[in-house]
Chains A and B, each alone.
Chain A
């Protein structure tokens, strides 16, 4: 039998390292760009466009021409055969001048595959609404956890462990995208928030399935020791958690690899979410229960005793 509980400190270490990398990335992004994540036009306003050139041009050349045409601030990113470019909001006339300018200067035919321009006004509103959506989702998940855990031995404690695991998942995904933003100029948009919320909804389920099993085993008193009961429950549920994750990973991986560039990062959020969510419900949330049960952090959380 696999000893999960015995390895809990390793799991905490791994998660700790991932979280530290995330924090470093968020902070350096904040210093370098003034935002912990590279924000897309959905949230900042401005223009983002996908350009395709026939014949193909070099990224450096393109950057040069954008500067020459008066857009030195443009962020240019390669994406397959296309270029993803983000810069300030432009009018239709400016757009026409830009594409014509590029065509003559690079002597290559331009196809504007995708063109989004968002006024700062609506962007602020979208950012605000996205924030509201995240808060509402967080509250809804809390309420759900309270409801789902109402019959568990100590709902507050178990609920808190589940929430910590959720925050852990979200943090690692946000950290990953901060890193991607830092290294490859990847920006987060409304679809990122969408993926994140979907993942939170998905990730909580695995935790509920495992906790449910722990509850069942505790009430059947199969083992005298809480830690051993949890380990048994984890081993029992491992197959299903692993397999449910695996089936979802199969389809998402296929979409990520072959589904084209338009929603690639969105699918990446989902993919990361499923992997990390499965990991955290097995290796983090249940282990936290053990730590809490053994009162290893009573000194840190004085209210733990009260709720126990």
Chain B
């Protein structure tokens, strides 16, 4: 028994050492780019939930293909816009969740992501009653079929500036696009040819020359620099296959996030100090063991957050859950200690009291945590249905925290106590808070 306890102690110390080593130095490892991943409520930023209109998809693709393509294009837009650690994921069959941590200009970001950016060229048509309408310009393509001239045939787009025209977006056609463009300009010589973006006319220049093998076109829309940049990103990522509408938006200002971190850390510190004082005063030596176990517990919990930062995001309710699970970790210890004290009052030997106390308390601890696990699983599901990262953060952290608390109570506290008992350093039951 004693030998096993020593091995366990070594295991615990090695684990603790490794955990500490994985976090230190704190400023680069724990708080660095690969360290803790903070949620929007702590870091500031924006979360957008988009509803895609699947009824508008092209007939020859499946729903999931259309969604995958939209998500891929949003990913490219966000990447080019330059957001660190964005989250873009499909939610349900027809929704997309976009998280943009630390984004400053939310308005701009929303326009960038959500606009379909469907580019097409249109020519004028006079209907029977003499009204002029714009219809999408078509020409017979190289494969012999009539094709519409749209953003589909873009090779790339880039921004350009001239004194005369200001910021413009230059588009380069691929071979097929250039072929269609030539035919269409030929047909519309000395007539206007309009550039439409998402059904809105941007400009309608008069065609003065047939642009033979014209690989380039210029979109002039009296753009500001950021508008031109946005359009460039959108055109390069391709038009979205489905129109999107925002159905849920949550923005947190970075200042609020910073306040939240500061306040919750202060609260955690005060809570933990109170907890330690209480446990020490009430349970004496047992309490000291519990404090050590809790210290290790805290470090291990942080390590899990740190190592699995790509899966676990730390949110404000998550911090609350971590602190709550700390309180619950103490609960497990208290259940055990009370049992031990009871056994001591029945005049059992110290060793026997510790063993019986642990064995009897274990079923209660195990059973009582089952309910918390069940609730966490239900909440995790609930949080996932509408992208409630706060609900999810709470559920996930509480689950991990409670699981870890069982480990610390059963393995760590028990090993400490067994070693203390077998070392015979302490024999007076008063050290355990029992008066006999």
Query: Which residues from 236 to 268 on chain A have a C-beta closer than 8 Å to any C-beta of chain B?
Result: 236, 239-240, 243-244, 246-255, 257-260, 262-263, 266-267
Query: Which residues from 221 to 245 on chain B have a C-beta closer than 8 Å to any C-beta of chain A?
Result: none
For A254, list chain B residues within 8 Å (CB): 267-268, 270-271, 274, 323
Residue in contact with B256 in the complex, picked from A118, A204, A255, A262, CB distance below 8 Å: A262
Asked whether B338 is an interface residue with its Cβ less than 8 Å from the other chain, the reply is yes
Asked whether A115 is an interface residue with its Cβ less than 8 Å from the other chain, the reply is yes
**What is the 8 Å Cβ interface bit string for chain A, positions 200-234, against chain B (1 contact, 0 not)?**
11101100110010000000000000000000000
Asked whether B249 is an interface residue with its Cβ less than 8 Å from the other chain, the reply is yes
For B206, list chain A residues within 8 Å (CB): none
Residue in contact with B371 in the complex, picked from A115, A129, A205, A248, CB distance below 8 Å: A205
Query: Which residues from 95 to 130 on chain A have a C-beta closer than 8 Å to any C-beta of chain B?
Result: 96, 111-119, 121-122, 125-126, 129-130
Asked whether B253 is an interface residue with its Cβ less than 8 Å from the other chain, the reply is yes
Asked whether A144 is an interface residue with its Cβ less than 8 Å from the other chain, the reply is yes
Assess whether A113 is in contact with B256, with CB atoms less than 8 Å apart: yes
Residue in contact with A248 in the complex, picked from B328, B382, B385, CB distance below 8 Å: B328
For A205, list chain B residues within 8 Å (CB): 367-369, 371-372
Asked whether A160 is an interface residue with its Cβ less than 8 Å from the other chain, the reply is no
Query: Which residues from 369 to 388 on chain B have a C-beta closer than 8 Å to any C-beta of chain A?
Result: 369-372, 374-376, 378-379, 381-383, 385-386, 388
- With A133-B382, A190-B390, A194-B379 given, can you name 15 additional A-B contacts, CB distance below 8 Å? A92-B106, A111-B253, A113-B255, A119-B247, A125-B386, A140-B375, A141-B371, A191-B317, A194-B391, A205-B371, A209-B335, A254-B270, A258-B266, A259-B267, A262-B260
Residue in contact with B249 in the complex, picked from A117, A141, A208, A212, CB distance below 8 Å: A117
Asked whether B326 is an interface residue with its Cβ less than 8 Å from the other chain, the reply is yes
Residue of A with least CB distance to B384: A129
**What is the 8 Å Cβ interface bit string for chain B, positions 292-334, against chain A (1 contact, 0 not)?**
0000000000000000000000001100100110111011001
Q: Which of B18-26, B168-176, B275-283, B415-423 contacts A (4 or more CB under 8 A)?
A: B275-283
Known A136-B378, A194-B391; judge A114-B252 contact (CB<8 A): yes
Give the CA-CA distance A119 to B50 in the complex, in Å: 11
Asked whether A137 is an interface residue with its Cβ less than 8 Å from the other chain, the reply is yes
Could you say which interface size class chain A belongs to?
A: 35 or more
For A236, list chain B residues within 8 Å (CB): 342
Give the CA-CA distance A249 to B256 in the complex, in Å: 26
Assess whether B378 is in contact with A137, with CB atoms less than 8 Å apart: yes
CB distance from B375 to the nearest CB of A (A): 4
CB distance from A3 to the nearest CB of B (A): 21
CB distance from B391 to the nearest CB of A (A): 5
Asked whether B49 is an interface residue with its Cβ less than 8 Å from the other chain, the reply is yes
Residue in contact with B255 in the complex, picked from A111, A140, A204, CB distance below 8 Å: A111
Asked whether A276 is an interface residue with its Cβ less than 8 Å from the other chain, the reply is no
Interface pairs (29), CB distance under 8 Å: A42-B388, A92-B106, A114-B253, A115-B249, A115-B250, A126-B388, A133-B382, A137-B374, A140-B378, A190-B390, A191-B394, A194-B379, A194-B394, A198-B398, A200-B375, A201-B376, A202-B371, A204-B371, A236-B342, A247-B279, A247-B331, A250-B275, A250-B278, A251-B268, A252-B271, A254-B323, A258-B263, A258-B270, A262-B256
Give the CA-CA distance A194 to B256 in the complex, in Å: 22
Give the CA-CA distance A132 to B326 in the complex, in Å: 29
